[in-house]
Amino acid sequence: MRYKSGLLASKIFIFSFLALLSFIILVPFVYLFTSSLKTSAQYFKIPIEWIPSPALWSNYSYVFVELKFYIYMWNSTFLAVSSVVLSVLSSSLIAYGFARFKFPLRNGMFILVIATMMLPGQVTMLPLFIYFKSIGWLGSYKPLLVPQLFGSAYLIFLIRQFYITLPREIDEAAKIDGCGYLRIWWNVIMPQAKPVLIVSALFVFLGSWKDVFGPLIYLSDRSSYPLAVGLLYFTSPTSNAYTLILVAIVIALVPTLLFFIFSQKYLNKGVNIANLK
Amino acid sequence: MGSGTRKMGIEKREKIAGLLLVSPWIVGFLLFGLFPMGVSGYLTFVKWDFLRDPQWVGLSNFQDVFRNPIFYTALKNTLIITFGSSLIYLVFGVIIAAMLAKDYLGSNVFRAIIFLPSLVIGTALAMMMQPVFGNGKYGLLNQVLNLLGLPYQSWLTEPGQAVWVIVAMSFWFLGSGVIIYLAGIKGIDPSYFEAAMIDGANGLQQFYKVTIPLLTPVLLFQSIMGIIGGLQVFDLALTLASEFKTGGMGNENSLATLVFYLYTLAFRDYNMGSAAVVGWVIFIVSLLLSLVIFRLSKKFQLFGEEESK
Amino acid sequence: MKALKAFLSTSLVIAILLVTAACSSGNSSSESSAGSGVESGAQQSKENGVEKEVTLRYLRWASGEEEVNFRNWLDEFENAYPNIKVESEFLPYETYSSKVKTDLISGNAPDVIAFTSSEWVAYIYSNVFLDLNTMPGAKEAFGQLTEDSVSAFNVDGAQLGAPIGVGRRVPFINKDLFVKANVPLPSQTEPMTATQWVEMMRKVQAGLEGDMMAANLFPEELLYSLALSAGSPILSQDGKKVMANSPEGVKAIQAFKDIMASGAQVPILDVWKGAYGNPDSALTTGKVAIGWTGTWSVKAMKEANIDYMSIPAPIVEGGKTTQVGYLNSHAIPTSSSNREAAWELVKWMISKEGQLSFGKFSDLPVHKEALDETQKALEAEDPNAYTGFSAAKASVVPTPPFPSDFDTLRTGLQSKLVSDKVTAQQFAEQLEKEGQPMLDKYQANIGK
């Protein structure tokens, strides 16, 4: 009996804790959303007017259609999806190598993988910029996409850590069945690693979606900019400039939120470990 | 003789396969890793405003940086942020992930909400945080304090206080860590939990005895990422500092972090040499702290056979 | 092994396909933004026998309405010069600043770039800018501008930038609030001393209700103009030396403190992002009686139905009237492949015609005749807004360049001064002791 009421108490505690946390997190978002429906004058009113009247839903059609935001959205989507495919595929393959194979200098190299994440991007940015300029890649998506081919240190680290939690027996079992290394990877390891792969895809997607600096310095044609950069160019002939950028921010959130929800559904479908038998 | 050679053959095949699998990374590392790292190492010894030719100046950049009080402010701030936020991410991240692991009513919604802040594009952060921390006594946080009868605080402008705002904001950014822990927890074979329940363990005990030990590799990962991330805090500092005044690092550099200082040196003072020095400081500190964590993790090693280095 | 090879080659092919698709999609779509057509691609010049059409790229910082005004202004140029198209780009200041740098390194910079005087200074020794004196008609064109503005961008005889306008700020008051507080309106032509200012501010504050504040002044500019009026500016004109540490300087610093700590001024740390707007927008919020802004805020004030009036900045006891301003300019990078056309644009921008238009929506012109006409027209049209500027007409001093760590030092000292943690004398001494090395280092980096 005590156990059961303890269970209920702990459930209530958990729920209220999460509810409080969610509330704290949501406040700035509510502010963002309601402000996106205001005019600039309303936006600057203090104290804050939480429910704008009138609510300018027209702000959204203006930004999306007349300011041609759909172009930026398409660019962002293309970049993000390409990055996900390139990065997750190559990183999971490389992580497989680190996790399941013994070869000379393996541990040293893995430490190097981690080490590459320790040098801040701002330091390597300028040398890379000049390098890309010298091979004529400026003004295209190449500097943003090609490096993904070679794996991302973050993903390699993350996925490898997951791979090593998978028991060796499943590899052995497949080997006995006559599978080659790649077959083992594709048919045995990868399905087990779904959670981490989905999380990886999510992070690559987000990283690409939010990246401002990369596209800003490597792209020069305004029509090829992704959303993150498009936000910067934000101006308008009306006096609603301040709030229109908020509209753009909300629009930018939607695809990533959708991707997240989709990934969660997929994760929850359940990971069937029982197949190791 | 026969089985001996076969074993060697397998080992050799394994070596070659492993190297082949890892080869793309090696190439990438040489092209996009070693090369810029090497250049930035070179830059620490020159004076370069990235328009004219670099001039060799030996150790003078190092002297400039290590004698500059701003560097030490930035270092102090960064360490506070790093340890503070890593602790919060680690402790609360796992706990919250455990809370969210089971699928009950509303768990999906909670997951989405907690992850929401990680979706925001950096430049948009300032606009969202402005009403909370800014606006003097009309700021949301100050209004809450007012309701509780506490005095107003100038969150971002009081030197020494601004750093703690960043640490406190780790709660807001927990989401991305929680997701990783969630994935880890979902990857745990349910039979472990079943066995524990049969043994009479309640939720809390299951958490300690099953979840945490099986998550050790992930915990290790998150600690290192937390350290690296903390040491590289920039976006947040930049957006909060511009709330105070455009073009500075906060009142008396109270929002200066190492990367922020690097950025200021490179992009405002045209001083790539000193910026590169700061970059290497960050790199070496990251390396050292990660090694410490690796050592510590070996001591507390509970699972994960292939951890031994 | 075979499977491995097959897999690797397939992924390589996919990757190559993706990347080439990326390249072509990056260049094919074109977009037209609200207001003006943005053509994709770089400059084209086709010779169809007689005419050559050239497309110039122009970069400046701007936000909101400013951008619209600038685009319209550039349209006027295009109408006057049908063979030259201007593809313009406007960014928020920070982003503009980074973009300029990366563009200049990549050698792919726009043909005409706008600069503030401090941004411009960082590039002058890097052989980045074209010497405009080498372009046809330069002497005549520059001869029509005020000498000070031209010489500000001349380096050892080479004209590395063309001034475009002078932005200035003065205090603006809300007449209604003054009347309500029963305080006589200040003179629009005679500056008051700092002591008189403090008295005025306190009287206004006493007459205001609720949480309104008498003033939201621009601290740096206030300090700077007080120092100038005392004859001891904070920095030397070239930005190389701290000059505040002198008896006159300390006098000015003390005057600054008196005004900022009068109890009638928005707390110094909340001046820019607090509940009272900022010095530019303070009056428009309706909660402040004295702001500090330029002609660019007049329209917003009109829209908010504020009965405004500009007055001269305060001076120290026995000081002279001066004004601090911002000299903006344009430069042509040597890497431009459209020099002649770029020069046409710059030349038009500093011609009487271009300057008159410019003066209608932005800073005051540097073209002598245009400046005269513009000032007369503005004063006639709106004496409330413009008469306050005329008190210092003759002596506008452009703000010198300084590095960001110096700015932080100064801001910190200012707030310590106002909260009595340092005295005026200590302010001057610390600014010199800690600030001079910062200036030296900065100059060493960008200098010869």
What Å distances lie between residue A250 and A22, A64, A257, C340, C402, CA to CA? 18, 11, 10, 44, 38
Q: Which of C272, C411, C445 sits opposite B271 (nearest CB)?
A: C445
Q: CB atoms < 10 A from the CB of C402, how many?
A: 21
Residue C172 bridge partners (DSSP): C291, C310
Q: Enumerate the residues of chain B whose CB falls inside 8 A of the CB of residue A181.
A: 17
How far is residue C273's CA from residue C254's CA, in Å, rounded to a whole number?
A: 25
Residue A14 pLDDT exceeds 50: yes
Q: Report the residue of chain C nearest A139, measured CA to CA.
A: C26
The pLDDT score that the predictor gives to residue A133 is 84
Can you tell me which residue has the tokens 């050559």? C52
Interface test with chain C among B251, B260, B261, B272, by most C beta carbons within 10 Å: B251
pLDDT band of A273, cuts 50, 70, 90: very low
Contact A237 C35 (CB under 8 A): yes
Q: Could you tell me which residues come within 8 angstroms of residue B112 by beta carbon, excluding any fewer than 6 positions away?
A: A257, A260, A261, A264
How far is residue A85's CA from residue B171's CA, in Å, rounded to a whole number?
A: 31
Which of A119-128, B168-177, C28-37, C190-199 shows the lowest per-residue confidence on average (mean pLDDT)?
A: C28-37
Considering the domain architecture, whether residues B82 and B20 belong to the same structural domain is answered as no
Q: Is A178 on the interface with C (CB under 8 A)?
A: no
The pLDDT score that the predictor gives to residue B5 is 64
Quick check: is B53 in a domain?
no
Can you tell me which residue has the tokens 């005549």? C140
Q: Report the residue of chain A nearest B42, measured CA to CA.
A: A127
Q: CB atoms < 10 A from the CB of A121, how many?
A: 15
The structure tokens listed for C368 are 């002598």
How far is residue C272's CA from residue B243's CA, in Å, rounded to a whole number?
A: 8
How far is residue A32's CA from residue A47's CA, in Å, rounded to a whole number?
A: 15
Residue A142 pLDDT exceeds 50: yes
How far is residue B2's CA from residue B10's CA, in Å, rounded to a whole number?
A: 13
CA C9 distance to own-chain centroid: 56
Q: Which of B244, B248, B252 sits opposite C273 (nearest CB)?
A: B244
Per-position b or e across A103-118, b if 16+ CB within 10 A of its CB? beebeebbebbbbbbb
Q: Considering Cα of A57, then A59, then A62, then A68, what sign does the dihedral take?
A: negative
Q: Report the residue of chain C nearest B243, measured CA to CA.
A: C273
The structure tokens listed for B261 are 């200082």
Q: CB atoms < 10 A from the CB of A76, how many?
A: 26
How far is residue B79's CA from residue A124's CA, in Å, rounded to a whole number?
A: 22
Closest CA to B134 of B104, B91, B165: B165
Interface test with chain A among B21, B105, B109, by most A beta carbons within 10 Å: B21
Q: CB atoms < 10 A from the CB of B231, how many?
A: 24
Chain B neighbours (≥3 Cβ pairs under 8 A) are A, C
Shortest CA gap A112–chain C (Å): 23
How far is residue C368's CA from residue C373's CA, in Å, rounded to a whole number?
A: 9
Say which amino acid occupies A214. Answer: G
The structure tokens listed for C401 are 């360049």
Considering the domain architecture, whether residues B22 and B158 belong to the same structural domain is answered as no
Contact C122 B245 (CB under 8 A): no
- Total-model pTM: 0.83
Angular region, B188: left φ>0, alpha ψ -120 to 50, beta rest? beta
Instruction: Identify whether the C-beta of residue C139 lies closer than 8 Å to the C-beta of residue C308.
Output: no
First-to-final CA distance of chain A: 38
Identify the CATH class of C53-168+326-380. alpha beta
Residue A82 pLDDT exceeds 70: yes
C288: enclosing H helix or E strand:
strand C288-293
Quick check: is B52 in a domain?
no
Shortest CA gap C137–chain A (Å): 33
Mapping DSSP to helix (H, G, I), strand (E, B) and coil, where does residue C6 land? helix
Instruction: Identify whether the C-beta of residue C281 lies closer than 8 Å to the C-beta of residue C231.
Output: no
The structure tokens listed for A69 are 């935001």
Residue C158 bridge partners (DSSP): C155
Q: Report the residue of chain C nearest A131, measured CA to CA.
A: C106
ipTM comes to: 0.80
Instruction: Identify whether the C-beta of residue A166 lies closer than 8 Å to the C-beta of residue A116.
Output: no
Q: Give A107-142 as a DSSP string.
A: HHHHHHHHHHTTS-HHHHHHHHHHHHHHTT-TTSSH
List domains and CATH numbers for chain A: 34-276 (1.10.3720.10)
pLDDT digits 0-9 by tens, B43-97: 999 988 877 888 899 899 999 999 999 999 999 999 999 999 999 999 999 988 8
Shortest CA gap A119–chain B (Å): 5
Shortest CA gap C194–chain B (Å): 26
Instruction: Identify whether the C-beta of residue B175 lies closer than 8 Å to the C-beta of residue A202.
Output: no
Instruction: Identify whether the C-beta of residue B155 lies closer than 8 Å to the C-beta of residue A133.
Output: no
pLDDT digits 0-9 by tens, B90-149: 999 998 888 888 777 777 888 889 888 988 887 777 677 777 776 666 677 777 787 887
Q: Is A264 on the interface with B (CB under 8 A)?
A: yes
The structure tokens listed for B202 are 């309640």
- What part of C 303-362 touches A (C-beta under 8 Å)? none
Contact C40 A44 (CB under 8 A): no
pLDDT band of A41, cuts 50, 70, 90: low
pLDDT digits 0-9 by tens, C31-57: 333 323 333 333 334 443 345 789 999
Closest CA to C38 of C85, C83, C97: C85
Can you tell me which residue has the tokens 């499943």? A170
pLDDT band of B305, cuts 50, 70, 90: very low
Chain C neighbours (≥3 Cβ pairs under 8 A) are A, B
Closest CA to B248 of B260, B236, B232, B230: B260
How far is residue B157's CA from residue B161's CA, in Å, rounded to a whole number?
A: 8
Q: Where in chain C is the domain with CATH 3.40.190.10?
A: 53-168+326-380, 170-325+387-446
pLDDT band of A234, cuts 50, 70, 90: low
Q: Could you tell me which residues come within 8 angstroms of residue B89 by beta carbon, excluding any fewer than 6 positions away?
A: B170, B173, B174, B177, B222, B226
Q: Is B142 on the interface with C (CB under 8 A)?
A: no
pLDDT digits 0-9 by tens, B256-265: 999 999 988 8
Instruction: Identify whether the C-beta of residue B18 lies closer than 8 Å to the C-beta of residue A106.
Output: yes
Considering the domain architecture, whether residues B38 and B65 belong to the same structural domain is answered as no
Contact C18 A223 (CB under 8 A): no
Considering the domain architecture, whether residues B158 and B29 belong to the same structural domain is answered as no
Instruction: Identify whether the C-beta of residue C19 lies closer than 8 Å to the C-beta of residue A145.
Output: yes
Mapping DSSP to helix (H, G, I), strand (E, B) and coil, where does residue B85 land? helix
The pLDDT score that the predictor gives to residue B108 is 81
Q: Is A223 on the interface with B (CB under 8 A)?
A: no
pLDDT digits 0-9 by tens, A155-173: 998 888 888 878 888 888 8
Quick check: is B175 in a domain?
yes
Name the superfamily (CATH) of residues C170-325+387-446.
Answer: Periplasmic binding protein-like II (3.40.190.10)
CA angle A233, A239, A245 (to 5 degrees): 35
How far is residue C20's CA from residue A82's CA, in Å, rounded to a whole number?
A: 12
CA angle C49, C53, C57 (to 5 degrees): 155
Region A180-202: mean pLDDT is 81
Contact C4 A180 (CB under 8 A): yes
Mapping DSSP to helix (H, G, I), strand (E, B) and coil, where does residue C215 land? strand
The structure tokens listed for C402 are 């300084």
Instruction: Identify whether the C-beta of residue C23 lies closer than 8 Å to the C-beta of residue C17.
Output: no
Instruction: Identify whether the C-beta of residue A156 lies closer than 8 Å to the C-beta of residue A95.
Output: yes
Region B187-205: mean pLDDT is 78
The pLDDT score that the predictor gives to residue C32 is 30
Contact B40 A124 (CB under 8 A): yes
Q: Is A65 on the interface with C (CB under 8 A)?
A: no
Say which amino acid occupies A225. Answer: Y
Cis amide linkage into residue A47, ω under 30° from 0? yes
The pLDDT score that the predictor gives to residue C51 is 58
Considering the domain architecture, whether residues B227 and B269 belong to the same structural domain is answered as yes
The pLDDT score that the predictor gives to residue C206 is 92
Contact B112 A126 (CB under 8 A): no
- pLDDT beneath 50, residues of chain C: 1-50
Q: Enumerate the residues of chain A whose CB falls inside 8 A of the CB of residue B118.
A: 206
Per-position b or e across B261-294, b if 16+ CB within 10 A of its CB? bbbbbbbbbbbbbbbbbbbbbbbebbbebbeebb
How far is residue C277's CA from residue C280's CA, in Å, rounded to a whole number?
A: 8
The structure tokens listed for A226 are 């992704």
Q: Considering Cα of C396, then C402, then C406, then C407, what sign does the dihedral take?
A: positive
Quick check: is B166 in a domain?
yes
Considering the domain architecture, whether residues B10 and B145 belong to the same structural domain is answered as no
Considering the domain architecture, whether residues B79 and B11 belong to the same structural domain is answered as no
Quick check: is B93 in a domain?
yes
How far is residue C234's CA from residue C252's CA, in Å, rounded to a whole number?
A: 10
Determine what percent of chain A falls in helix, strand and coil, rounding each to the nearest 5.
Answer: 75, 0, 25
Contact A227 B309 (CB under 8 A): no
pLDDT band of A186, cuts 50, 70, 90: confident
CA angle C367, C369, C374 (to 5 degrees): 90
Considering the domain architecture, whether residues B201 and B275 belong to the same structural domain is answered as yes
**Count: domains in chain B:** 2
How far is residue B59's CA from residue B64's CA, in Å, rounded to a whole number?
A: 9
Q: Enumerate the residues of chain B whose CB falls inside 8 A of the CB of residue C220.
A: none
Considering the domain architecture, whether residues B39 and B67 belong to the same structural domain is answered as no
The structure tokens listed for A71 are 């172009």
Instruction: Identify whether the C-beta of residue C406 lies closer than 8 Å to the C-beta of residue C435.
Output: yes
What Å distances lie between residue C375 and C167, C347, C369, C380, CA to CA? 13, 22, 10, 8
How far is residue B152's CA from residue B167's CA, in Å, rounded to a whole number?
A: 19
CATH code (residue B281): 1.10.3720.10
Residue C293 bridge partners (DSSP): C170
Considering the domain architecture, whether residues B180 and B274 belong to the same structural domain is answered as yes
With a pLDDT cut of 90, the percent of chain B lying above it is: 24
Region B206-210: mean pLDDT is 76
How far is residue C4's CA from residue B217's CA, in Å, rounded to a whole number?
A: 28
Contact B52 C127 (CB under 8 A): yes
Say which amino acid occupies C201. Answer: M
Cis amide linkage into residue A54, ω under 30° from 0? yes
Q: Is C10 on the interface with A (CB under 8 A)?
A: no
The pLDDT score that the predictor gives to residue B37 is 87
How far is residue A152's CA from residue A94's CA, in Å, rounded to a whole number?
A: 10
Contact B276 A114 (CB under 8 A): no
Domain boundaries, position B224 = 59-307
